[in-house]
Amino acid sequence: MSEKKKTFQEINKENRIEWDKLKFDTQLIRAGEDPYPETSHSIRTPIYASKSYTYSSLSELMRNHYHYSRTENPTVYALDNKLATLHKGESSISVASGMAAVHLACSSVLQQRVERIRPNKIKKLFLEPKSKEIPNGIIHTNQYVDIYRLLTKLYPQMGFECKIVNMCDLSEVKKIVDENTRFIFLESPTNPSIDLIDIEACANIIHEVNGKCIVDNTFASPALQCPLELGADLVVESLTKYINGHGDCLGGAIIGPKNEIQNIRLFWHEMQGPVLSPFNAWLILRGIKTLNLRMARHSSNAMKLAQFLEKHPKVVKVAYPGLKSHPGHEIAKKQMKDFSGMIGFELETVEASNKFIELLKLIKVGVSLGDLTSLIEYTSIMTGLELAPWERKAMKTSNTHFRFSVGLEDPDDLRDDLDQALEQI
Ligand SMILES: Cc1ncc(COP(=O)(O)O)c(C=O)c1O
């Protein structure tokens, strides 16, 4: 009798063992994609523009788990495998955006995957409170604004309390954690203040109460930081930023233990549907191959510009993890391979800041980050427009703060542009 044809997933599972043995640069290019089953020998992974997958028999269909692209798609799955390999995680799911990834990761920690339960049992389990204890999660004072909004405006309507603390001070984190804390959600470096948070220490604190440590690794990418190795339980990436790196699409991913990622895939993701299109997965697969090269150049460019800004008399404050003056410099050295491309800096007055941003010529004014093209954001004017004045105050971002995503242009050109603008204010 002829041997049963292996499924796509079975082949990928075998390949994964081989990909794990490769070095990071090789993984960037090969993991998830090479060897790749059934590609007509093409060097690049094809875009599988298909909603359904058809089989010649029911038994063949039952053995395969490509059925419908809301659950899995072969192009997206190549990216899933690559990201899991790069992060040294068991598994990964790629989704439509970084925000979708944050929401799915937090939902999976706060809620339970329940199936085949009668509505009256669901009501008993979830709507009739057995105790007054409200589950809570903890975020940092200065948090990416839409994650702050998600966890402080939307989740509380579903019976969740969001606690906010300065995570740079671990004693404050210890004080605020209690037996109802389900997760610590942290970014490091943070957006927009470029604070550094000790991932390992936070993971240890939350594990004492059996909660989870969710790390948003967007500002570092797996080329510079591997939170799972530091004790994090789930990693979230906005693929929109450094991982894709070319500024031409959005995407997000969650990386973590196999069971948890499978639950996210089959429960929260399948029902809520924030699917990454195979076209965007293909762009990200193309962009990610140069991640290590790009991160090295983002980091060296940013270091040069941070040093220039630090010495400039018209700049009052610079936050770059690579500078010795950064309060989190030692933490950055401990948990990052390099310091990435994000700089925070402040000028003296609002008047000077308004003038400065108008005077830049080469450096583009725009939201988002992690692109080949340098982008600068006047933080208080360009982000958090939905926030109340008291919320902005609590976040402690000065109204002369700029968040600078240093691109891959020649650093001398970027320095000259900053210099001419600063000279004129
Ligand atoms: C740290 C961080 N996490 C998550 C996100 C959300 O990512 P996306 O824009 O892909 O939804 C962003 C976006 O700027 C971010 O900076």
- Please give the pLDDT value at position 93: 98
The SS3 of residue 207 is helix
pLDDT range class, residue 129, cuts 50, 70, 90: low
| Its pTM surpasses 0.85 | yes
Q: What is the mean pLDDT of the chain?
A: 95
- Please give the pLDDT value at position 124: 87
Residue 67 within any structural domain of the chain: yes
> Which of 270, 288, 306 delimits the end of a domain?
288
The alpha carbon of 372 and the centre of ligand 1 are apart by a number of angstroms equal to: 17
Q: Report whether residue 411 contacts ligand 1, using a CB cutoff of 6 Å.
A: no
Best mutation site among 238, 243, 248, 276 for ligand 1 pocket (most ligand atoms within 8 Å of CB): 238
Do the beta carbons of residue 27 and residue 82 sit within 8 Å? yes
pLDDT range class, residue 6, cuts 50, 70, 90: confident
- Locate the ligand 1 atom nearest the alpha carbon of residue 239 and give its number: 10
Q: Count CB neighbours of 217 within 10 A.
A: 26
- Distance of alpha carbon 105 from alpha carbon 97, whole angstroms: 12
Q: Report whether residue 240 contacts ligand 1, using a CB cutoff of 6 Å.
A: yes
- Please give the pLDDT value at position 38: 66
- Please give the pLDDT value at position 202: 98
Residue 376 within any structural domain of the chain: yes
* H-helix or E-strand spanning residue 364: strand 364-365
- Please give the pLDDT value at position 1: 46
- Residues 149, 218, single domain; the answer is yes
Q: Report whether residue 97 contacts ligand 1, using a CB cutoff of 6 Å.
A: yes
Best mutation site among 186, 191, 197, 244 for ligand 1 pocket (most ligand atoms within 8 Å of CB): 191
> Which of 264, 288, 312 delimits the end of a domain?
288
- Locate the ligand 1 atom nearest the alpha carbon of residue 102 and give its number: 4
Residue 1 within any structural domain of the chain: no
- Residues 101, 141, single domain; the answer is yes
- Please give the pLDDT value at position 130: 67
- Please give the pLDDT value at position 133: 84
- Locate the ligand 1 atom nearest the alpha carbon of residue 190 and give its number: 1
Lowest-confidence segment of 9-13, 123-127, 282-286, 419-423 by average pLDDT: 9-13
pLDDT in tens, 242-254: 999 999 999 999 9
Q: In the predicted model, what is the mean pLDDT of residues 281-289?
A: 98
Amino acid at 221: S
- Distance of alpha carbon 114 from alpha carbon 135, whole angstroms: 18
Tell me which of 38 and 113 has the higher pLDDT: 113
Domain around 354 = 291-423
Q: In the predicted model, what is the mean pLDDT of residues 374-385?
A: 94
Q: How many structural domains are present in the chain?
A: 2
- Locate the ligand 1 atom nearest the alpha carbon of residue 218 and give its number: 1
Q: In the predicted model, what is the mean pLDDT of residues 301-317?
A: 98
411-423 and 350-359 helices cross at what angle (nearest 10)? Answer: 130
The SS3 of residue 131 is coil
The alpha carbon of 217 and the centre of ligand 1 are apart by a number of angstroms equal to: 10
Residue 2 within any structural domain of the chain: no
Residue carrying the six token digits 């699409």: 249
